[in-house]
Amino acid sequence: MTNIPDALRRLVKERAGNCCEYCHINLDLSPYPPEIDHIIAEKHDGETTEDNLCLSCGFCNRNKGSDDRITKTFASLYLMSGQIILY
Ligand SMILES: [Zn+2]
C-alpha cells in the first residue's frame, strides 16, 4: 500500500467537503472512519494522484473493494441511485 503524502490527502479531503464521494454521507455522521481510496486500485496500476483518489466512508470502500466479484478485474461500485460505475 502506497503512502499518500499528507498534502495530497488534505487536498482530497477538502475537495470532497468532508463527504464520502460515493454515497455523499457527511463523514462526521458516518459510523465508519473516513478513508482515502484509490478509485482504480493500485494492483490494477491505479496511480496515487489527485484524480485517482477519493474520500470514502469505510462502508463504501469495503463494498467497492479492488476487484469486480464476477470478472475479477476492475472493481465496480453500485450506487444507491442504481447507477453502476465500472472502473
Ligand atoms: Zn460512502
Residue ranges with CB less than 5 Å from ion ligand 1 = 20, 22-23, 57, 60
Number of domains comprising the chain? 1
* Residue 67 included in any domain: yes
The rounded distance, in Å, linking the Cα atoms of 82 and 46 is 25
pLDDT digits (tens, 9 = 90+) for 23-51: 889 999 988 889 999 988 888 888 999 99
Residue 20 has a pLDDT of: 92
pLDDT digits (tens, 9 = 90+) for 58-72: 888 887 766 655 555
Rounded to the nearest angstrom, the distance between the alpha carbon of 20 and the centre of ligand 1 is: 5
* Residue 1 included in any domain: no
Residue 61 has a pLDDT of: 86
Rounded to the nearest angstrom, the distance between the alpha carbon of 73 and the centre of ligand 1 is: 22
The rounded distance, in Å, linking the Cα atoms of 33 and 44 is 25
* Residue 47 included in any domain: yes
Rounded to the nearest angstrom, the distance between the alpha carbon of 59 and the centre of ligand 1 is: 6
